[in-house]
Copies of this chain bind each other. A is one copy, B any other.
């Protein structure tokens, strides 16, 4: 595959498993031809590059770090190499760049100036969780993080459940791993007993992957332990049944 003057969106693994389980071979052929990378975390980006090809000379590559700490006024210069005719790779800390990370900021710049943007296939915990959940995959929303404060989170969960029911839509969201058990408690407190709740933990990890969907009622009695495990939460509330005739 010949490399172009383009912004390449390069997924990276989301677990410690084998590269060949989660990335198409041609991704590696492409990555080896790129010299400029916009990355969420330089250290993990270097480790990924060394893993896919130990012969890569890291010192010959240029990295630009794009994350919550990057000053807004620096970002524009990150695509200068592209403006000069070179391909640039964008890599997130884990999974697919441009999704649930700040990567879209440089894509937006490239799009505005008419450059090609080429997304490569790779693991997205959001999408993999949805595929295995059995919940509605014909309509779904990714909500990012819910509020941290108890009352706000409780309200957000109830609002999302109402929306799921009204719009026949699966709700997907994430939490920082050390707050997973707290999130699960809020979910079991606020959701209706017959809402389907999927907990997708350790996705693509050879040993630990566990994607389980049960009614809230069953989760309440059967227990859970999600402490510090990367987890995606999904739920889906069946539409309210159509009004039935009432016998008087």
Contacts and interface: CB of A to CB of B under 8 A. Distances in A.
Contacts of A148: none
Contact of A99 (B103, B131, B143, B198): B131
Contacts of A21: 1, 24, 26, 121
Among A23, A107, A108, A112, which residue has the most Cβ atoms of chain B within 10 A? Answer: A107
Interface in A123-172: 123-124, 126-144, 169
A180 interface: no
A131 B126 CA distance: 13
Given A121-B123, A121-B204, A138-B144, A132 B22 contact: no
Contacts of A177: none
Contact of A108 (B1, B134, B142): B134
Chain A interface size, under 10 / 10 to 19 / 20 to 34 / 35 or more: 35 or more
B24 A20 contact: yes
A226 interface: no
Contacts of A133: 98, 104, 107, 111
* Copies of the polypeptide in the assembly: 2
Interface in A151-207: 169, 198, 203-204, 206
Contact of A128 (B121, B135, B138): B121
A57 interface: no
B132 A107 contact: yes
Contacts of A138: 100-101, 104, 144
A203 B124 CA distance: 17
A42 interface: no
Contact of A137 (B103, B134, B211, B214): B103
A104 B135 CA distance: 6
A89 interface: no
Interface in A200-226: 203-204, 206, 209, 211-214
9 contacts: A24-B24, A111-B212, A117-B211, A118-B209, A119-B128, A119-B131, A121-B123, A121-B204, A124-B127
